[in-house]
A and B are shown apart, each in its own frame.
Chain A
């Protein structure tokens, strides 16, 4: 029994892992782009971006999942996501990417804006280009400052992936719960908790390592 449960949960965890890693893959760069938009000097760019961030951060991810999955079907009259498992996964991924990109963008904005203007000016008077100043001077300082808040978000994401089940995306809790009906046992559900704990433990170690790597300067 233990091995059947383990295998099933492992399969579910693979779904969790896939949603988790693909969300990060797209949300981190998108978040950087959104943060540039939210800091742009042109109002016509900045205000809509800030509005989007407000909407996304101000409503539950659960609601966003439902709206993104069912919305197009109801409004446009055809389900853009298709009917299969893949379609549901992509819909969930879109919701997660959008949601997390907005949170990341605020972390990036905070990080970028916390760098003293003297750092830019020192680069400028040395004749460096804007790109050189950003990549050679600013970026690493920003990364150092945002590692702790990013690590927080990433660990939250591990657990948030379980929300995807509301649109029937198979992940680990979905699989764990299935044993309640099929075999009348609840312990597989607790077992899923161990997966989460181990994974977030690994991530904590990983981010701790990065923080340590960047501790050589202040």
Chain B
């Protein structure tokens, strides 16, 4: 089933055109990885999907429902946008956990506000601690973010995003801020989510990971999608010169 359609998204910051004409779509249960060099607009694209930036032009549809259409101003009010955000989740490169809450409370906060439940609510606690256990953090629920390693913090952030049951979970370089020995544990839980058919868009520089976890790989350069398709085709046999250059530069480092 078609879950997301992105049509002709454009975004400028002042005079720099960061996203030029982005269109892609994905099905429910798919994993799409976005690769591309620094400054190509990957983060901006994810931020547009999560309405942290408002695209200048274009259409975003989830399950056939038009969430955003630059030609229809009524899709842009603040409260409307807040509701639409709930279709998407976002895991940040820098985790952005709430420092004054424990791991479990970080996961419970947004659902507790939305469902008007207290932190003591049995059902909410159960649900949230199950998510943390799934992330391998069953022992760490009572810890505050500063007591956790980067990899553990990122896994809490993933659980926190999952707690709102988004249709599509987005990751912006989830392991870039981590020491190499910690990236594995985060990639492992993302793999597990993929196995459970969680719909995900992952911006990453981990090529081996992208190749075996994703159904589709998108290569972006300078605000456009240069090439997209089966991960093995894109990563092992890229058609476009720009993709080849990017991949060989990456493997040299």
Contact = CB atoms under 8 A, between A and B. Distances in A.
A140 B96 contact: no
Interface in B33-69: 50-52
Interface stretch (A10-18, A49-57, A125-133, A181-189): A125-133
B83 interface: yes
Contact of A127 (B98, B100, B114): B114
Interface centre among B50, B98, B160, B164 (most CB of A within 10 A): B98
B52 A121 contact: yes
Contacts of A218: 99, 144-146
Contacts of B83: 127
A125 B88 contact: yes
B85 interface: yes
On chain A, which size bracket covers the interface? Answer: 20 to 34
B52 A124 contact: yes
Nearest to B85: A127
Contacts of B94: 118
Q: Does more than half of chain A's interface fall in helix, strand or loop, or is it mixed?
A: helix
B96 A122 contact: yes
B98 A128 contact: no
18 contacts: A118-B92, A121-B52, A121-B92, A122-B97, A123-B110, A125-B50, A125-B52, A125-B89, A125-B90, A126-B89, A126-B160, A126-B161, A127-B110, A129-B82, A136-B109, A144-B100, A218-B99, A218-B146
**Which 10 pairs across A and B sit closest by C-beta, in order of nearness?**
A126-B110, A118-B96, A122-B96, A218-B146, A125-B90, A217-B100, A217-B99, A127-B86, A140-B100, A125-B50
Given A118-B94, A125-B89, A127-B82, 10 more contacts: A118-B92, A121-B96, A124-B50, A126-B89, A126-B160, A128-B109, A129-B82, A137-B98, A141-B100, A217-B145
Interface of B: 50-52, 82-83, 85-86, 88-90, 92, 94, 96-101, 109-110, 113-114, 144-146, 160-161, 164
Interface of A: 116, 118-119, 121-129, 132, 136-137, 140-141, 144, 216-218
